[in-house]
Structure 1
């Protein structure tokens, strides 16, 4: 498969988010944008090596382009995980150097790796030796008391020397001491300018930006300075924003979303998932943000949140939820919706 980075041009991505961007979420997102680069949740290298591989790495062919994000710090384990993942035909392997969660810190990977750039570089080199796929890094601008003006370029220089093909930068520090993972998503101040400066300094390197970006207008502004933009919670909470990505970011012909086709596609997908032993709610939980602000969105959310959780719930719940939305009305619901 062609690497997203080989095509040149700008890249819009949906960020890897633990417990959110699973295969069902990515399948939904792909129905809204043909071009957006999608990421898996972070999968720990040890889990790939020793765990249920099909469950952890399996995905639908429609998800492409899709990148696998891996967590770990042991070069040998990272290389083995990458070799295993090659059979699942991802378009990119991304190393997590940005997640501040407690379980990541206890495993000595994620954002705490900002403190040991040589370890990150060794991991990247091992991953590059194990695959022909692009190997990228997603990091913060620094952690705790680090000076980002020193720590970030030092990390970048080392991983680029090790062969990293691209670097995605979450434009906040991570405070490993004193802030929860949730607080780390909001409290540390954003510093987009340092990411812009890194692009100027490493002009030949693909640099993508992440953190606090809420709209496609903001994404377009960032793309004047860097090569890629990554939305996380904004793309998940207001999912329909993805329907405008292909036209706004990639210049594809504008097409109005075919919501009835999306309904039918998701019903068929859910039916297949249920037939394989899954539950409807595993699919529909990712759909509740589809029509934020539209007339009927509150009822849409209620149906998906309550009825989809009932024993024996089937795809007809999706049909009922879509029927609650008034697609002909451009007016929005009250702010209390």
Structure 2
């Protein structure tokens, strides 16, 4: 089995990290590990697999995140994902939405560490690619010292290859999914302690990391950092990942270069019937703090949604932007 490099990844985010978003991010960083949105086992087993799981070859390394709690279904969905070519299968034990709770998966599984361990064992027996878990430090009234330790030790004993920890509790009673991303306090030290207790297990930290400098600071304590909203809302941050985290040159020096390189992909998608807005909706934060950024966003918002909108809409939007690279402008 090929060893995965977990130093930097972009979080799985519902309604955000679809295949078009991931191709965009891959043009900004060649090394970050990318994750799909969470897909339920039922959808994978019974749904339109090509629509749900298909991805562009340029996205590698890319991981499939699954939602479920039945070991047999998770094993089957993992096999299907491996067959599609995913580099890793990840089990969601952190999403706090009501829909997820009603389906007995996501963060509510923090209360069932033995079941999570059985799920991981079944997935490990089914596939050769790495199997990982993304969890919280606890839920509701749980003591994070006990809850995180129980999940971690159980899944590692079952063969889990890496553990991604969102360094917040999830309050399933009283907070909305959106509130659960901000209100529970961050406890990075709890994740650091887990790493010290499990030195041989890759531990990746997630939650509230605002940028690459902060990611580098976390890497003094853990094996990897996962960026979520900061990567999506300000994608220009990803331009510095390869140089700052991996000591390598980025695929493209500027956002303009990345967009130019992405044009053939967009053209091919448009030819298949994809609407331009389905792709360009992920570009909103591309030119944060750069002269012309507002005009860029306005042009895409007004013209990109029109039927038949093509590459010229994106080119015209980019033409509004100044020449400076986003990272330079925002510094």
TM-score normalized with structure 2 length: 0.96
Question: Aligned with 2:137: secondary structure?
Answer: strand
Question: Aligned with 2:304: secondary structure?
Answer: helix
Structure 1 position 50 matched with structure 2 position 46: yes
**How many residues matched?**
329
1:3–1:92 CA contact under 8 A, matched in 2: no
Output the CA distance in 1 between the equivalents of 2:80 and 2:275.
28
Output the CA distance in 2 between the equivalents of 1:329 and 1:72.
42
Structure 1 position 289 matched with structure 2 position 285: yes
Question: Aligned with 1:136: secondary structure?
Answer: strand
Q: Aligned to 1:113, which of 109, 113, 121? A: 109
1:268–1:315 CA contact under 8 A, matched in 2: no
Output the CA distance in 2 between the equivalents of 1:61 and 1:144.
40
1:3–1:133 CA contact under 8 A, matched in 2: no
Q: Which residue of 1 aligns with 2:180?
A: 184
1:123-148 deviation digits (Å, cap 9, x = unpaired): 00000000011000000000000000
1:1-337 residue pairs with structure 2 within 5 A? 2-5=2-5, 11-253=7-249, 257-328=253-324
1:70-108 deviation digits (Å, cap 9, x = unpaired): 000000000110111121111100000000011101100
Q: Quote the offset at 1:257 in angstroms.
A: 1.4
Output the CA distance in 2 between the equivalents of 1:234 and 1:179.
22
Output the CA distance in 2 between the equivalents of 1:253 and 1:74.
43
Q: 1:270 to 1:253 in 2, by over 3 A?
A: closer
Structure 1: gaps (5+ residues): none
Worse-matched range after superposition: 50-59 or 265-274: 265-274
Structure 2: gaps (5+ residues): none
1:256-277 deviation digits (Å, cap 9, x = unpaired): 7144432223322221111111
2:9–2:33 CA contact under 8 A, matched in 1: yes
1:253-306 deviation digits (Å, cap 9, x = unpaired): 478714443222332222111111110000000011111111111111111122
TM-score normalized with structure 1 length: 0.94
Q: 1:332 to 1:166 in 2, by over 3 A?
A: closer
Q: 1:306 to 1:179 in 2, by over 3 A?
A: same
Output the CA distance in 1 between the equivalents of 2:275 and 2:286.
20
Output the CA distance in 1 between the equivalents of 2:152 and 2:325.
49
Worse-matched range after superposition: 172-181 or 307-316: 307-316
1:3–1:91 CA contact under 8 A, matched in 2: no
1:213-258 deviation digits (Å, cap 9, x = unpaired): 0011110000000000000000011101000000000011478714
Q: Quote the offset at 1:211 in angstroms.
A: 0.2
2:164–2:203 CA contact under 8 A, matched in 1: yes
Question: Aligned with 2:296: secondary structure?
Answer: helix
